[in-house]
Chains A and B, each alone.
Chain A
Amino acid sequence: MATKLPKTDVVIVGVGWGGGIIASELTKQGLSVVGLERGKERKTEDYYMVHDELRYALRYEMFQDLSRETITFRGNEKIRALPMRSYGSFLLGDGLGGSGVHWNGQTFRFLPYDFEIRSKTIERYGKNKIPDGMTIQDWGITYEQLEPYFDKFEKVAGISGEENPKGGKRSDKYPTGPMKTTPGMKLFADACKGLNYHPYHMPSANLSDQYTNPDGIARAACQYCGFCERFGCEYGAKADPVVTVIPVAKNTGKFELRTHSNVRRVLHKGGKATGVLYVDTTTGEEYEQPADIVVLTSYVFNNVRLLLMSNIGKPYDPKTGTGVIGKNYAYQVLKGAAVGFYEDKEFNLFAGAGALGMCIDDFNGDNFDHKDLNFIHGANISYSQTGARPIQNNVVPPGTPTWGKDFKAASIKYANRHLNVGAQGSCMPFRHHYLDLDPTYKDEFGDPLMRITFDFEDQDRELVKFMGAKCGEILKEMGADKVVANTKLAPYEITTYQSTHNTGGVIMGSSPDTSAVNNYLQMWDVDNLFVIGASAFPHNSGYNPTGTVGALAYRAAEGIIKYHKKPGSLV
């Protein structure tokens, strides 16, 4: 029997960006919050030996232990889903701060088009532009409504940047100026200007300058050490929940963090959540934590899995297209890219920062005419210099042998003589892309694993063809001696790293028939249960998701505070 603990106002499941933001905002208003985190505590001091590519990037130091829990994957419903036995396509965060610790810090706002994608696509191109099976829908919120929350997140995190000439209207500038400009970034910016595009510095959570945020949290500037993605920041310069929102929550005295606490079920009765059931993974003991309000703030897969395992909400059925939990799983379409080789120029590619780059949105969202194109939406195209660590970066021109003497010579020669331009393609949802519980494979507790059914579609292949060519065109303009553009997209596979930008499954919208949560991320079916994260995205944009996750979390926090004063539906 589980030990029943004293009731709290709010319990949050997973303490990353979502959990940290909710905890800080709620405790500042005097609510008592218990944060359950299944991983361990993390702090800046942990990263004393962080410049270790093998340990962090290739042995996955910061990530979930897959021997305990993984996901299963299949390309379509006709084949058997099998477990992701080792890491590849994406990396699951674990421990305090979650994926918010090992990210690169590229912090974009989704475009106004994203939030009204269905209406705006039909308005401009007609209904037939949306192919059969593509289940895009409006988000139940507009960019203008969400703008203040973007602003809030950017100020708390201290985002460094300059205005995106092709983005939504801003109420204020970024709290810190853009990052430094490397020679490669300058080449990209000049080339784009020459092509009449609109380059701007990538918005960055790696601080360009010392900064004190509105909560009084002071952080130092980025040192461009070249170890961001897959690493924690030894300086606390990269914004992560551990160095921004979590200390604010802790300082109120109203936040109780419990690490090594793995939540297995959301408890509910008569249409209300009553608390959660969790296991202390250090002792194996089970606890019940009752709460007035339950907030799921774990990663996409676990948000969906907890709802399905707890029998909350109607599971999505791809045959009928009805039900919502697990619906509209989407990802990121990244293969549209090009590499340029330089014979007479060497760049300091070993140096860099996770969000050090230059980009354009001329081909993102609906910023360009899709009338004669066989896809909708687009991609942010960028050159970024994140630090070319030596094990994982061995780029050689096509035709070079893949090992031996010639490979060695070419990989050494071009180590600092190549530049990559890449497109971060949006990903549209389809009726047959979804998440559900695997019928066969179990986690360490015997609970079913999350099952992903997903593959790339014609939409994605057309997008990659278009974007790969654009990337190549830009690199030619950047003066590369040899440009190799990739315009082909193979079937989705789980073994090669692409991005940890998984989205959907508990999507937001304006109707309980087509969405799981409203625009405060409050569940339609259980009004004291909020589900926060990229799980709320009805599709994924041509950007990194964290900026929009942060904005939605601040809006949800406002909703929860309202709900605490006056229970009921917030919309």
Chain B
Amino acid sequence: MANETEDKELKDHREPDQSRRNFLKNSGYAVGGLIVGGVVGSLLRTPKKATTNNNANTGNGNNGGAPAAEPVNFNQALMYFTQEQFLITEAATERLFPADDNGPGAKELGVAYYIDHQLAGEWGNNGREYMQGPFYKGETTQGYQGRLKRREIFDIGLQEIQNYSNKKYQKKFKDLAPEEQDAVLKAFETDEVKLTTISASGFFKTLFSATMEGVYADPLYGGNNNMNGWKLKNYPGNQMSYAKIIEQDQFAKMPPVSLKEHLPHS
């Protein structure tokens, strides 16, 4: 598997602290040249072994190639969803972004945990959005004009997915065959499902965009498990500089780095 190979490359060839120190030395940020304060200066620190699993509580288990115990990921618990809501979300997002020959899908990447955590916070509560009335139905050019917050929309949307599955197939959504799950999602995407309280297609769009976030956001948010989302696209994550490769013709494949690597290790 491609990703296993990359994991090995990561362990063998990359020592993030060292590369950052070299970068600072070579680019003249740390010595000579202009003194640039703030962020860069505070990156100078004692090199220490780093973790390659950002969601893991155990820091050094993967170093040195020795077999390590499966680390516990304490981040994988629920802040908002009920268990039923979680299972629907996990099954639905896996259909939106399924595991295939390219690599893992939404389930393995932790997307449902990501969505749960987001709904528990400001985004789920539309905390920085204008939610004052009066509420009128507007033109599509005017955007969302409802009074419901995202977590309320998910409550309703997930329940309606379950209801539709039960009605049409007499099974829970998570127990449907993949093709049946796709048909249910399609019915929401196209508004074939007629809902009175929310827009089925609006909910589908939010579910899809949240899925993409869970696949590709920094692993600190609970998705993109082990940076495996980034590896699908050869996206290198949080790098200090591309000055050396920006002009080069051939593709620069490099192991990804997460924001965790940016923090000094105590």
Q: How far is the CA of A183 from the CA of B252 in the complex (A)?
A: 13
Residues of B within 8 A of A47 (CB): 38-39
> Within the complex, which residue of A53, A210, A411 is in contact with B217, where a contact is CB–CB below 8 Å?
A53
* Among listed B45-53, B60-68, B131-139, B157-165, interface-contacting one: B131-139
B233–A493 CB distance below 8 A: no
CB within 8 Å for A415 and B235 given contacts A66-B128, A180-B246: yes
B245 proximity list for chain A (CB < 8 A): 348, 351
- Tell me which residues across on chain B come within 8 A of A402, comparing CB atoms: 189, 208
Whether A44 and B39, one on each chain, are in contact in the complex, defined by CB atoms closer than 8 angstroms, is: yes
Tell me the bound Cα distance from A226 to B143 in angstroms. Answer: 30
* Chain A residue with the shortest CB-CB distance to B43: A48
A122 within 8 A of B: no
B135's nearest neighbour on chain A, judged by CB, is A82
The residues of B that contact A234 with a CB separation of less than 8 Å are 38-40
The reply to whether A235 and B36 contact each other, CB–CB distance below 8 Å, is yes
What's the Cα separation between A238 and B143 when bound, in Å?
A: 33
- Of B27, B37, B237, the residue contacting A51 (CB under 8 A) is B237
**Residue contact A220 to B132, C-beta cutoff 8 Å:** no
A442 within 8 A of B: yes
| A412-B232 contact in complex given A75-B139, A82-B142, C-beta closer than 8 Å | yes
**In the assembled complex, B126 has its CB within 8 A of some CB on chain A:** yes
Q: Are A493 and B141 closer than 8 Å at their CB atoms?
A: yes
Pairwise interchain contact A74-B142, C-beta atoms closer than 8 A: yes
Report if B19 contacts A (CB, 8 A): no
| A2 on the B face (CB < 8 A) | no
- A51-B238, A84-B130, A220-B34 known; A391+B145 contact, CB < 8 A: no
C-alpha spacing A178/B235, complex, angstroms: 27
Is B120 an interface residue, CB under 8 A from the partner? no
A373 within 8 A of B: no
Residues of A within 8 A of B212 (CB): 391, 394
Chain A residues with a Cβ closer than 8 Å to the other chain, count: 75
List residues of chain B with CB within 8 A of the CB of A412: 102, 232-233
**A181 close to chain B: CB less than 8 A:** yes
Residues in chain B near residue A54, CB distance under 8 A: 213, 217-218, 221
Stretch at the interface among B78-86, B93-101, B169-177, B191-199: B93-101
Specify which chain B residues have a CB less than 8 angstroms from the CB of A53 in the assembled complex: 216-218
Q: Are B129's CB and A66's CB within 8 A?
A: yes
Residue interface mask B238-257, A partner, CB < 8 A = 1: 11111101111101100000
User: Is A347 part of the contact surface with B, judged by Cβ < 8 Å?
Assistant: yes
- Complex Cα distance, B131 from A75, in Å, reads 21
CB distance from B51 to the nearest CB of A (A): 17
Q: Does A281 contact B (CB under 8 A)?
A: no
Nearest residue, chain B, Cβ from A356: B246
Is A369 at the interface (CB under 8 A from chain B)? Answer: no
Residues 42-71 of chain A, each 1 if its beta carbon lies under 8 Å from chain B, else 0: 011101111111100011100001110110
Asked if A51 and B128 make an inter-chain contact with CB atoms under 8 angstroms apart, the answer reads: no
Tell whether, in the assembled complex, residue B127 and residue A73 are in contact, meaning their CB atoms are under 8 Å apart.
Answer: no
Q: Are A48 and B262 in contact (CB-based, < 8 A)? A: yes
Q: Mark A110-145, 1 if CB is under 8 A from B, else 0.
A: 000000000000000000000000000000000000
Q: Are A82 and B217 in contact (CB under 8 A)?
A: no
For the complex, give the distance between the alpha carbons of A493 and B38 in Å: 40
Provide the bound-state CA to CA distance between A75 and B140, in Å: 11
Return the contact of A224 from the options B42, B220, B242 (Cβ within 8 A).
B242
A451 interfacial by beta-carbon distance below 8 Å: no
Who on chain A is nearest to B185 by CB?
A403
Q: Are A86 and B126 in contact (CB under 8 A)?
A: yes
- Does residue B234 face the partner (Cβ distance < 8 Å to A)? yes
- A51-B237, A210-B34 known; A183-B249 Cβ under 8 A: yes
Question: Do A88 and B240 form a contact, CB below 8 Å, given A390-B216, A405-B98?
Answer: no
A67/B259 in contact, CB under 8 A: no
In this complex, what residue of B is CB-closest to A442? B132
Whether A404 pairs with B96 at a CB distance below 8 angstroms is: yes
Interface contact A44-B38, CB-CB below 8 Å: yes
Q: For the complex, is A409 an interface residue (Cβ under 8 Å from B)?
A: yes
Is the C-beta of B113 less than 8 angstroms from some C-beta in chain A? no
A182 at the interface (CB under 8 A from B): yes
What residues of chain A lie closer than 8 Å to B96, measured between beta carbons? 403-404
Taking a contact as CB atoms closer than 8 A, the residue among A218, A223, A352 that contacts B27 in the complex is: A223
Q: Is the CB of B134 within 8 A of A79?
A: no
Contact A226 B208 (CB under 8 A): no
A402 to B212 Cα, complex, angstroms: 12
- Measured CB to CB, the closest approach of chain B to A374, in angstroms, equals 24
Docked Cα-Cα span, A389 to B212, in Å, equals: 12
Q: Does A236 contact B (CB under 8 A)?
A: yes
> Contacts A44-B37, A86-B129, A220-B34; is A347 near B251 (CB within 8 Å)?
yes
Interface contact B235-A67, CB-CB below 8 Å? no
Q: How far apart are A201's CB and chain B's nearest CB, in angstroms?
A: 13
Flag whether A306 is at the interface (Cβ < 8 A): no
B29 at the interface (CB under 8 A from A): yes
Determine if A182 and B247 form an interchain contact, defined as CB atoms under 8 angstroms apart: yes
Find the B residue at minimum CB distance from A69: B130
Q: How far is the CA of A543 from the CA of B4 in the complex (A)?
A: 46
- When C-beta atoms are compared, the residue in chain B nearest to A351 turns out to be B242
B182 adjacent to chain A (CB < 8 Å): yes
Alpha-carbon separation in the docked complex, A84 to B141 (Å): 10
Chain A residue at smallest Cβ distance from B96: A403
| Contacting residues, chain A, for B134 (C-beta < 8 A) | 440
B-chain residues with CB within 8 Å of residue A45 when the two chains form the complex: 37-39, 42
Contact mask for chain B residues 21-40; partner A; CB cutoff 8 A; 1 contact, 0 none: 00000010100011011111
Chain A residues lying within 8 Å of B247, measured Cβ to Cβ, are: 180-183
Nearest-Cβ distance from residue B92 to partner chain A, whole angstroms: 10
Residue of B nearest to A494 (CB): B143
How many Å lie between the Cα of A219 and that of B37 in the bound state? Answer: 10
Assess whether A348 is in contact with B251, with CB atoms less than 8 Å apart.
Answer: yes
Alpha-carbon gap, A440 to B52, bound state (A)? 53
Could you say which residues of chain A place their CB within 8 Å of the CB of B16?
A: none
B103 to chain A, nearest CB (A): 8
Least distance between B10 CB and chain A CB atoms (Å): 17
Binding site for B on A (CB under 8 A): 43-45, 47-54, 58-60, 65-67, 69-70, 73-75, 79-80, 82-86, 88, 180-183, 210, 218-226, 234-236, 346-348, 350-352, 356, 390-391, 394, 402-405, 408-409, 411-412, 415-416, 440-442, 491-495
Can you list 15 residue pairs at the A/B interface with Cβ under 8 Å? A51-B237, A52-B217, A69-B130, A75-B141, A85-B126, A85-B145, A224-B243, A347-B251, A348-B252, A351-B242, A402-B189, A405-B98, A408-B97, A441-B130, A442-B132
Q: Which residues of B contact A (CB under 8 A)?
A: 27, 29, 33-34, 36-40, 42, 95-98, 100, 102, 105, 122-123, 126-132, 134, 136, 138-145, 182, 185, 189, 208, 212-213, 215-218, 220-221, 229-230, 232-243, 245-249, 251-252, 259, 262
Q: Which 8 A-B pairs have the closest CB atoms?
A: A351-B242, A45-B38, A223-B241, A493-B141, A390-B216, A54-B217, A51-B238, A346-B251
17 further A-B pairs in the complex, CB-CB below 8 A; given A84-B143, A495-B141: A48-B262, A51-B218, A53-B218, A59-B122, A82-B138, A85-B126, A180-B246, A223-B27, A223-B241, A224-B241, A225-B241, A348-B251, A352-B242, A391-B215, A403-B185, A404-B98, A416-B251
